Amino acid sequence: MIARTRIQKIAAFVTVIVLCFSFYNAKAQDHKAKFKVIAFYTGRNDKAHISFMHEANRWFPEMAKKYNFTYDSTKNWNNMNPEFLAKYQIVIFLDTRPDDASQRAAFEQYIKKGGGWIGFHFSAFALTPSDYPQNWDWYHDEFLGSGQYSSNTWHPTSAILRVEDTKHPVTKGLPKTFKASPNEWYRWEHDLRTNPAIDILLAIDSTSFPLGTGPKQSEIWHSGYYPVVWTNKNYRMVYFNMGHNAIDYDGGTDKEQSQTFDNDIQNKLIINTLLWLGAGKK
């Protein structure tokens, strides 16, 4: 009788240990990162872009902790290779694009195999002639659809943005219009409305006009249609025109005067995008 009781106690103890281990393992699985993000940046031109890059590399790790994904960043563009990219579900271009032919090929392969991408502001810039010429047709004409850069507003100014596609996961929960952080807004060579592959998610609302302060009249927009966030239906990607903080160039102090991520509604837009791409669905 004593032996049987002892065996029952041992069995009960083993059961408790197994249950505890199972619970711990389940919790560990819960905390396992949902997806992995890698951000590429250059950080060598234009203090406004550098300011944004540093801000992004502070903000994204905070969001990674909150929403259970991992965030890495690198300025080593040699990591733009198939082996390295295969570790990540989302690639972010914070300020520029790859210029090396092998890096471009690796990125295109990654995207065509279903990888996710987020690009900010200058990552879509291309102008011939310039230090960033349009010499990558697949990226600028097919993937982004925008072609070359045409012009911009100045100084960096807040704009009222209008949600164009209210049914897309990226715009879920956003108001129809909201005020964006100050930014240098871009105009593009191609009219994205004529491209059936492009889904324009947000555009500048007409209540923003006049947009910009000059001094050049061409830097002040009074009318027109300007997409600022869009996706290509054939790929898992979203481009954001945001990413240029206001800097005190005129006063000569180069002091940061605005922050891109100091905007809860705009941040929700970016978080929605991360979670949508991280889910691995078109």
Label residue 252 left, alpha or beta by phi (over 0 means left) and psi (-120 to 50 means alpha): left
**Could you tell me the residue ranges of all domains in the chain?**
36-278
Task: Tell me what the pLDDT averaged over the chain comes to.
Answer: 92
Q: How many CB atoms lie within 10 A of CB 259?
A: 16
Q: Where are the beta strands (DSSP E) in 131-185?
A: 149-152, 160-163, 177-179
SS3 assignment, position 157: strand
**Would you say domain 36-278 falls under CATH 1.10.3720.10?**
no
CA distance 203 to 143: 19
CA distance 131 to 149: 13
Write the CA distances from 61 to 37, 84, 153, 222, 258, integer angstroms.
Answer: 10, 20, 31, 38, 20
Residue 268: pLDDT band (50, 70, 90) is very high
Full-model pTM: 0.89
Q: What is the pLDDT of residues 204-242, one digit of tens each?
A: 999 999 999 999 999 999 999 999 999 999 999 999 999
Instruction: Please say if the pLDDT value at position 19 is more than 80.
Output: no
Helix, strand counts (H, E) of the chain:
6, 11
CA dihedral 21, 25, 27, 33 (to 10 degrees): 160
Q: What is the pLDDT of residues 115-152, one digit of tens each?
A: 999 999 999 999 999 999 999 999 999 999 999 999 99
